[in-house]
Structure 1
Amino acid sequence: MTQIENLYKEAQNLNNDQLRKIIRSESFKGQTSGLSKNFLQTNLIILDKKYALDFMIFCQRNPKSCPLVGVTNVGDPFFRTLGNDIDVRHDVPSYNIYKNGKLFKLTNNISDIWNENLLAFAIGCSFTFEHALVKHGFQIDHIINNKVVPMYKTNIKNQVSGPFQNTMVVSMRIFKKQHINEVVNICQPFHWAHGKPIHVGDPIEIGIVNVNNPDWGDKPKNLLEDEIYFFWACGVTPQNAILDSDIPFCISHTPGHMLITDITEDAEIPILQ
């Protein structure tokens, strides 16, 4: 077993405070699927305040892919409604830095570029409902093999808000055909984590030409005869919108490397009580 595999295995047994501690210290830089069981993980977008209203409207108009669960105050790097001492500057394993709609670099800490004009948005993540699927006996390949879930651009157009448009991004998992209804029913209640799949079946129907070549994440396992593709709306959708925008600067999580919150996965309202 490699050092990375050992770290991931150890991380699966840590509580949220312990997980954020090893992420903050940069001891753990990996993907977070399978971690923080029973709690909400989120995607992250950090923008200049001038784009905040347009982005909030974008999330409201595209709730399936962008379920907004938290927003910081302008200039405040703490998600005070989502947990204990959650600091967006260093509590995510890996960040993407975008400049003028293009990926500029990846980093593990953004303390040196955070400023008083920025605010952060937390968007629900499908890793949350994966715990429920595992509890019901489903095996999820990317968790078993410590890979990043495959994600794809689609032909499903987003509702436009200001500079934010482009198309929906989806994540994909493979299960047996006989379990379609069960998978849908298990995932449907998780409205802060994209809920039920938006498509089951042929990838080409939603514009995915080559399912073995994801736009983000790792190549999926081979599909067996009794299996079928399940696609969920994905919180990487805003990053796809940013790639098509003229925004000069933006920060996000690196796909698969999420922010871990203290909100329980079954919370009716995503605010720490």
Structure 2
Amino acid sequence: MEQQEAIRVAREEAVALRAKIRRGLFADQTAGAAPHCVQGNLVILPSFLADDFHRYCEANPKPCPLLAVSKPGDPALPTLAEDFDLRTDVPLYRIYRHGELERETTDIRDVWEDDFVGFVLGCSYSFEAALLEHGIPLRHIERNMGVPMFVSNIATVPAGPFAGPMVVSMRPMFPEHAHRAAAICAEFERAHGEPVQIGNAEAIGVSDIMAPDFGEAVPLEDGEIPVFWACGVTPQMAIKQARPDICITHAPGFMVISDIAASELAAGRGPEISSAPQSNE
């Protein structure tokens, strides 16, 4: 697909899907739902924690590749989509209080505060169309399932109150597909890039492939190996440790849908992000 056509298709997909989400007509996981669009993980925090979380993302670019940061109190994200509203345009949100999950909801207008800052982080769903186009099958998409995610034993770099283990997503593949996928994903640095582990789940602390911490279990077939990518659910582990009064995230697998074509990320293009202010510590 020519790049201009890819950009047009992605925007049409995104606008249509966000409209359904906003009207309450779509509240499902988004793997394969907008295959040509950049998808993202979401974290919303009070502004006094925003700089520390920004530094946490910069210190951990593999699981937390920043795509956008909102202005305090502003629910818009114009660098990702002209009509995006942080309060209504994610299929399913999670509301945390003091680090504990309070509830899930499809609309956060009732808890929105004037000092909230939204962060959107890259998502591995953004490279899946490229894998499929190169003949690499993805079973969770074939079965209309969410990708399985696991809490690993890989530690992240702390920043302020934020720290914790890396979460990883898993896709079963034949070895020849796994190495081809790694080469393709290397071009998607802002969607987690290359895998963090190929073939050895126990090396990163995953003991049971059929018992994911998030998402849905996807079995390995004969001859397949597990392939693990860093995952943007990682901040939800850091939130449990930081224990802010309130934090809002996407539910794992229910992603932010942007207007940006996934092929734009692969080409090294995407929204610019300012650096976090230096810590006073």
Q: TM-score scaled to structure 1, two decimals?
A: 0.92
Q: Does structure 2 retain, via aligned residues, the 8 Å contact 1:71–1:122?
A: yes
- Percent identity between matched residues is 42
Q: Which whole-Å CA distance do the structure 1 matches of 2:222 and 2:200 have between them?
A: 13
Residue 60 of structure 1, CA deviation: 0.2
Q: Does structure 2 retain, via aligned residues, the 8 Å contact 1:70–1:270?
A: no
Residue 226 of structure 1, CA deviation: 1.3
Q: 1:75: which partner in 2? A: 73
**Matched ranges for 1:79-94 at <5 A:** 79-94=77-92
Residue 184 of structure 1, CA deviation: 0.8
Runs of 4+ in 1 over 6 A off after TM superposition: none
Q: Secondary structure at the match of 1:169?
A: strand
Q: Which whole-Å CA distance do the structure 1 matches of 2:222 and 2:217 have between them?
A: 18
Q: Secondary structure at the match of 2:242?
A: coil
Q: Secondary structure at the match of 1:270?
A: coil
Residue 246 of structure 1, CA deviation: 2.2
Amino acid at match of 1:53: D
List alignment gaps of at least 5 residues for structure 2.
1-9, 273-281
The question of 1:50 aligning with 2:68 is answered no
Residue 38 of structure 1, CA deviation: 2.2
The question of 1:241 aligning with 2:238 is answered yes
Q: Secondary structure at the match of 1:244?
A: helix
Q: Secondary structure at the match of 2:56?
A: helix
The question of 1:214 aligning with 2:212 is answered yes
Q: 2:279: which partner in 1? A: none
Q: 1:257: which partner in 2? A: 254
Residue 50 of structure 1, CA deviation: 0.5
What is the aligned counterpart of 2:186 among 185, 188, 194? 188
Residue 39 of structure 1, CA deviation: 1.7
**Matched ranges for 1:1-273 at <5 A:** 15-221=13-219, 223-267=220-264, 268-271=268-271
Residue 198 of structure 1, CA deviation: 0.6
The CA RMSD measured in Å over matched residues stands at 1.4
List alignment gaps of at least 5 residues for structure 1.
1-11
Q: How many residues align?
A: 259
Q: Which whole-Å CA distance do the structure 2 matches of 1:190 and 1:136 have between them?
A: 15
Superposed CA deviations along residues 16-53 of structure 1, whole A, max 9, x for unmatched, are: 11100000011100000112222210000000001000
Q: Does structure 1 retain, via aligned residues, the 8 Å contact 2:201–2:207?
A: yes
Q: TM-score scaled to structure 2, two decimals?
A: 0.89
Superposed CA deviations along residues 100-158 of structure 1, whole A, max 9, x for unmatched, are: 11111000000111110101000000000011011112221111111111000011000
Q: Does structure 2 retain, via aligned residues, the 8 Å contact 1:217–1:256?
A: yes
Q: Which whole-Å CA distance do the structure 2 matches of 1:181 and 1:152 have between them?
A: 21
Q: Which whole-Å CA distance do the structure 2 matches of 1:127 and 1:179 have between them?
A: 17
Q: 1:8: which partner in 2? A: none
